[in-house]
């Protein structure tokens, strides 16, 4: 399965963040972490783990008699997919429209402006379709 096409719900993101921080983890470890961070009960977390496993975002294995879980989806791929979906859905795919909307409500620091300029200069040198 192409993990780059997996969409995650907000709740699934929380479970994935837990696994991206440390993996593999047992179901109990993940349930404990989600109870502490989110206030979720065991059933909620296990349901999300099953859903993520069915999507191909999480892989299960075993350490002795314990079932363990690890991310099968790279965090960067998930973030890029989410960003592309958001950009298309909200700004009709226009990066400039998004940046314009963001900077109308919040000014950018000098450092952020320099980062944007550097990114634009880098992208300017790339052929179309590569970035």
Report the number of secondary-structure helices (H) and strands (E) in the chain.
Answer: 6, 3
pLDDT tens for 19-75 read 999 999 999 999 999 999 999 999 999 999 999 999 999 999 998 999 999 999 999
pLDDT at 131: 47
Give this prediction's pTM.
Answer: 0.76
Question: Which of 75, 11, 8, 7 minimizes the C-alpha distance to 39?
Answer: 11
Which of 11-20, 59-68, 88-97, 119-128 is the most confident on average?
11-20
Cis bond upstream, residue 24 (ω within 30):
yes
């Amino acid at each position: 399965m192409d993990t780059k096409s997996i969409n995650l719900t907000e709740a699934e993101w929380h479970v994935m963040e837990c696994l991206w921080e440390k993996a593999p983890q047992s179901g109990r470890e993940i349930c404990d972490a989600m109870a502490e961070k989110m206030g979720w009960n065991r059933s909620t977390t296990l349901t999300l783990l099953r859903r993520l496993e069915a999507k191909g975002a999480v892989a299960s294995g075993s350490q002795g008699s314990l079932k363990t879980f690890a991310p099968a989806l790279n965090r960067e791929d998930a973030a890029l997919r989410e960003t592309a979906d958001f950009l298309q859905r909200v700004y009709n795919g226009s990066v400039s429209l998004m940046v314009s909307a963001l900077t109308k409500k919040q000014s950018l620091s000098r450092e952020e402006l320099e980062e944007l300029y550097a990114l634009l200069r880098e992208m300017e040198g790339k052929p179309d379709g590569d970035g």
